[in-house]
Structure 1
Amino acid sequence: MSNFPNRGRLLSLLAATLLLSACATQPPQSSMKAVTQPLEEQYPELDFPSTTSGVKSQEFDSPLSLQQTLQILLSRSPQVRMQLAELGIADAQTLQAELIENPHLSIGALRPQDGGRWQLDTSLSQPLLALFTRPLRRQLAQENLLETQLQLQGELQQLITETSALYFASVAALQHCYIQEKMLQATTARQQLALSVYRAGNMSENNFLAYDNELRRARQQLEKRQTAAFEKRLQLLNFIGLPSTQGIDLPLELPLFPDETFSHQDLLSSASENRADIKVAQQQKAIVDKRQQLIRQQNGWRDISIGVSGEREFDGAKNIGPELEIALPLFNRGQGKLAALRAQKAKLDARLQQLTLNADSDIAQSLNTMDSARAQLKLLQPSLAVAEKRVELSNREVNFMLTSPFELLNIKRQQIQFAHEFTDVLKEYWQARADLELAIGHRLPLPAAINNDHSQTDHSQMDHSQMDHSQMDHSQMGHSEHSSQESSNQDHSQHQEHHHD
């Protein structure tokens, strides 16, 4: 080995130190802004979290709006924090991928068999392949980080969509409860009227029992509606990160449809540009291309290292010089890895095609549901108007003894049933609209003003106290009271408090 003066040794050591310092990498920086910025552009009214720590306390509107419900999700839900933590893991993995391998220090000692001075061998080497390919590996790490960011955007948008659907379902369930209470009032009035007629001897026991049983059925239906509303409320609270005991007030009515139209082709084009799973698949193809490029650049030269070797002879003489170690790529040049990447690329091409078909199907299904809801609404609105008009006319006819009070109550029940169907149509539309936003991967334009006037379904007009039964006084008819009279006066307010407090 060549001999170098002490100054040369020091210069070599200094150069190695500077080289290692130049390759040092800064601590990982959070890439959270790259994830939240596109979502902030879509939802400017929401404050997206910048850390994984949750909010301890927060005041809620009464009633709770959809906007604040989404804000509670972003600030309180553990699901959101879990997704944000995944980004921290990806940031750390990006840092690790940029690091070069550590230098190798080797020390050996030999001693003559008959005694004497030890022979000391030392060497310091640095693998070079990791250094040469570092720019490409950094680029590959950034591509992997971008894939994680796109996946996180998709997950957050999925959570927002599911929260919107749960919100509309919860409001619809409350609206059904309100309507069903009106149904119970109408059924109770029918039963009480039937009881009066039965006592007067003008109705058979068989017919009265039918009305009496119908009242029990109405109570059962109200119980089911209240239970369903309570379950929807629990689902919403759990999803946005609130305990089941958290008191929140939701609106009692869903908004009417906004005046909006959509083009299937325009929405499909938007999905191709914005849908998260399509962007992730495109990013995965880019990563495969980078990996192919990295393997070709290595070309089997995986183990190359350069260093300095020193030796001290038995007689005390010192030798120092450079050292180069190469693994010859005779057998393994990454052929199998390249073949696997080509197959993976073909798989991603097929996946992209399937994702585009899925987007097309999801958009078509959402638009069909929304169009069907609009068509049903056009039929339900005049039907409700007619039912309200019939209630008004029948009430007048009853007051003049021109028709039976039973007929009036039957018409009121039909009106209430129309109101149930109207609520279901509204819920289907808003949930399908939320699904459409997820299908295209972007928020739909907000209507300038959402009409909350439900004058067509003003259930407050269903007041049975205005019915005039003064002409039907059967108090002089001495019939025994029926056992279900007491049950007809049961107080349901406690049940309502159980489910909604």
Structure 2
Amino acid sequence: MSLPLTLRPGLAAAACALLLAGCAGFTADGGFGTAASAARERLGKDALWVRSDQDRAEVYQRTQALLAQPLDADSAVQIALLNNAGLQAAFAELGISEAEYVQATRLPNPGFSFSRTRQGDDLKIDRAISVGLMNLLVLPLAARIEQDRFSQTRLAVADTLLRHALETRKAFVNAVAAEQSARYAEQVKNAAETGALFARDLARAGNVSALDHAREQAFYADAASQLARARQQALAAREQLTRRLGLWGTGAQYRLPERLPDLPTTRPALADLEGYAIASRLDLQAGRLQLDSLARSLGLTRATRFVSVIDVAYLHNTETAKPRETGYGINIEIPLFDWGGARVARAEAVYMQAASRLAENAINARSEVRETYAGYQARYDIARHYRDEVVPLRKRIADESLLRYNGMLVSVFELLTDARDQVGAVNGYLDALREYWVAETELQGALGGRLPDAGAASSPASPTVPARAGASPSPASAAAAAGPASIAVPKGQ
């Protein structure tokens, strides 16, 4: 605090040292540790905030090593965490937030005014050094508010990273499934072409009717259109994955596996998923920190509602043929028309809005968990049904038809009809398998980035923001956990 210069030098030096000791500096990682921890603990991957040529070189080398082999879901996520420019832009929010926090801890600059007037031979010089006393008084609380916002930003950026990783995994599943379907559609088209040519030759010899010939031609025409559609969908799915990966040029010529992983033989037993999600999701943790910050901001608004401007000035004036004038001045805002009620009402409304949104997000999170888990279970059952029942039955029917065709008991067109039904069963299984892996990824997203370990549903290992010394309990610490809790506006800070 800069006070009138009549203070003893030792006292002034001690006061300045005390204030400067509270000034925050920039951290070594810029607040990126929370996001890096989330990637490491929940995804098993490394995240890097590219801020130097050395970082760019490291990203390039690691990306090239990953692209040297066909991609799998894990390597696709790792490439996306290293290369996606939109994710790097999200990381820059950390630098912005940290700069605002550090700025909030800095002492306000003093003001200096100077005037020089002359009246005939008389010269008058006025000098004044002033400082905003109210700014100094609220400096610790304002710094605490910005520290909370910085912590909130770290959680929000970590949540953005996790969501991008999950979207990348979904894009990978869709791209592999689309290419697999396109290859199968090409096989179907080739088989349909063979059948159509065979039917044409039989029709020319008068061995089949025009109706059977037309049916085979229609099936071939439909198979050709399905192949064109499948190729277009495969291209679109691949480009969506490329955008998630953040690759361009030769880097976009990556190789994908030929097929999706098989359906797992068993499903993990997941219990208490709602509680796990509430404790694990970073967006809810960020909402709690935002509520804490707004509560402190509300206390600051109430404390300064009547007087928000107090300036203390040291005066040093000289005038011709007169003794030097020294002293101090105080400028204070008079709450004559504005008593601060509107600012307090606005702060209270903002706080209640944030509390309601946090409760809404908690309710939505619980509902999302129930919905995605039900979809996860259903899609697993559907894919297993196709794998164990539908596809084997269709294959058995096709084999039996082939035996009867060899025994001249059925016609070739009955054989082709059964083959078409088998094609439909295989396509149904491919779609069901893709939907299962997408459903598993969506469930991971609803739970905060990963599936819980067995027996650990209620105690997730999640990155946390370091606790502040002397932090007081949150005014809504159970808001997200309890769902639509009744949250009262704090009456004093």
TM (norm. structure 1) is: 0.79
Which residue of structure 1 lines up, in the alignment, with residue 46 of structure 2?
Answer: 47
Which residue of structure 1 lines up, in the alignment, with residue 138 of structure 2?
Answer: 133
Which residue of structure 2 lines up, in the alignment, with residue 235 of structure 1?
Answer: 240
Question: Kindly tell me: are residues 377 and 9 of structure 1, through their superposed partners in 2, closer, same or farther at Cα, counting changes over 3 Å?
Answer: closer
Among 148, 155, 174, the residue aligned to 2:153? 148
Separation in structure 1 between the aligned mates of residue 218 and residue 158 of structure 2, nearest angstrom: 54
Query: How many percent of aligned residue pairs carry the same amino acid?
Result: 25
Which residue of structure 1 lines up, in the alignment, with residue 16 of structure 2?
Answer: 19
In the alignment, structure 1 residue 287 sits paired with structure 2 residue 293? yes
In the alignment, structure 1 residue 436 sits paired with structure 2 residue 443? yes
Q: Which amino acid aligns with 1:37?
A: S
Deviation at 1:242, TM superposition (A): 1.6
Question: Kindly tell me: are residues 329 and 39 of structure 1, through their superposed partners in 2, closer, same or farther at Cα, counting changes over 3 Å?
Answer: farther
Separation in structure 1 between the aligned mates of residue 14 and residue 366 of structure 2, nearest angstrom: 58
Deviation at 1:330, TM superposition (A): 5.0
**1:234, 1:244 within 8 Å by CA — same for their partners in 2?**
no
Q: Which amino acid aligns with 1:339?
A: A
**2:383, 2:436 within 8 Å by CA — same for their partners in 1?**
no
In the alignment, structure 1 residue 62 sits paired with structure 2 residue 69? yes
Among 306, 317, 338, the residue aligned to 1:311? 317
Deviation track 1:470-497 (CA, whole Å, cap 9, x = no partner) reads xxxxxxxxxxxxxxxxxxxxxxxxxxxx
Which residue of structure 2 lines up, in the alignment, with residue 278 of structure 1?
Answer: 284
Deviation at 1:87, TM superposition (A): 1.6
Alignment of 1:376-415 (within 5 A): 376-380=382-386, 381-415=388-422
In the alignment, structure 1 residue 33 sits paired with structure 2 residue 30? no
Question: Kindly tell me: are residues 61 and 421 of structure 1, through their superposed partners in 2, closer, same or farther at Cα, counting changes over 3 Å?
Answer: farther
State the secondary structure of the residue aligned to 1:23. Answer: helix
In the alignment, structure 1 residue 72 sits paired with structure 2 residue 79? yes
Deviation at 1:289, TM superposition (A): 0.7
Question: Kindly tell me: are residues 411 and 63 of structure 1, through their superposed partners in 2, closer, same or farther at Cα, counting changes over 3 Å?
Answer: farther
Question: Kindly tell me: are residues 233 and 446 of structure 1, through their superposed partners in 2, closer, same or farther at Cα, counting changes over 3 Å?
Answer: farther
Deviation at 1:145, TM superposition (A): 1.1
Separation in structure 1 between the aligned mates of residue 88 and residue 420 of structure 2, nearest angstrom: 48
Q: Which amino acid aligns with 1:49?
A: L
Alignment of 1:89-488 (within 5 A): 89-113=96-120, 115-116=121-122, 118-243=123-248, 246-258=252-264, 259-261=266-268, 263=270, 266-315=272-321, 317-329=323-335, 331-380=337-386, 381-445=388-452
**2:38, 2:162 within 8 Å by CA — same for their partners in 1?**
no
Q: Which amino acid aligns with 2:204?
A: R
Question: Kindly tell me: are residues 111 and 13 of structure 1, through their superposed partners in 2, closer, same or farther at Cα, counting changes over 3 Å?
Answer: farther
State the secondary structure of the residue aligned to 2:46. Answer: coil
Separation in structure 1 between the aligned mates of residue 242 and residue 332 of structure 2, nearest angstrom: 62
Structure 2 spans left out of the alignment, 5+ residues:
455-493
Deviation track 1:127-152 (CA, whole Å, cap 9, x = no partner) reads 22222221111110011112222221
Separation in structure 1 between the aligned mates of residue 281 and residue 79 of structure 2, nearest angstrom: 24
Separation in structure 1 between the aligned mates of residue 269 and residue 356 of structure 2, nearest angstrom: 28
Deviation track 1:37-64 (CA, whole Å, cap 9, x = no partner) reads 23321122x1101335653453214321
Moved more, 23-32 or 129-138: 23-32
**1:272, 1:278 within 8 Å by CA — same for their partners in 2?**
yes
Separation in structure 1 between the aligned mates of residue 378 and residue 445 of structure 2, nearest angstrom: 19
Q: Which amino acid aligns with 1:267?
A: L
TM (norm. structure 2) is: 0.81
State the secondary structure of the residue aligned to 2:74. Answer: helix
Deviation track 1:99-134 (CA, whole Å, cap 9, x = no partner) reads 232111122334343x24x23222222222222221
State the secondary structure of the residue aligned to 2:128. Answer: strand
Separation in structure 1 between the aligned mates of residue 127 and residue 8 of structure 2, nearest angstrom: 18
State the secondary structure of the residue aligned to 1:306. Answer: strand
RMSD of Structure 2 on Structure 1 (CA): 2.8
State the secondary structure of the residue aligned to 1:239. Answer: helix
Deviation at 1:278, TM superposition (A): 2.4
Which residue of structure 2 lines up, in the alignment, with residue 488 of structure 1?
Answer: none
Separation in structure 2 between the aligned mates of residue 109 and residue 202 of structure 1, nearest angstrom: 117
**2:379, 2:439 within 8 Å by CA — same for their partners in 1?**
no
Question: Kindly tell me: are residues 229 and 399 of structure 1, through their superposed partners in 2, closer, same or farther at Cα, counting changes over 3 Å?
Answer: same
**2:76, 2:245 within 8 Å by CA — same for their partners in 1?**
yes
Which residue of structure 2 lines up, in the alignment, with residue 478 of structure 1?
Answer: none
Structure 1 spans left out of the alignment, 5+ residues:
448-501
Separation in structure 1 between the aligned mates of residue 298 and residue 427 of structure 2, nearest angstrom: 60
Separation in structure 1 between the aligned mates of residue 215 and residue 32 of structure 2, nearest angstrom: 65
Alignment size in residue pairs: 437
Q: Which has the larger radius of gyration?
A: 1
Question: Kindly tell me: are residues 331 and 35 of structure 1, through their superposed partners in 2, closer, same or farther at Cα, counting changes over 3 Å?
Answer: farther
Deviation at 1:22, TM superposition (A): 4.8
**1:171, 1:253 within 8 Å by CA — same for their partners in 2?**
yes
Question: Kindly tell me: are residues 96 and 49 of structure 1, through their superposed partners in 2, closer, same or farther at Cα, counting changes over 3 Å?
Answer: same
State the secondary structure of the residue aligned to 1:409. Answer: helix
Separation in structure 1 between the aligned mates of residue 449 and residue 209 of structure 2, nearest angstrom: 63
Separation in structure 2 between the aligned mates of residue 242 and residue 278 of structure 1, nearest angstrom: 32
Separation in structure 1 between the aligned mates of residue 188 and residue 154 of structure 2, nearest angstrom: 51
Separation in structure 2 between the aligned mates of residue 121 and residue 17 of structure 1, nearest angstrom: 29
State the secondary structure of the residue aligned to 1:305. Answer: strand
State the secondary structure of the residue aligned to 2:276. Answer: helix
**2:401, 2:415 within 8 Å by CA — same for their partners in 1?**
yes
Question: Kindly tell me: are residues 109 and 12 of structure 1, through their superposed partners in 2, closer, same or farther at Cα, counting changes over 3 Å?
Answer: farther
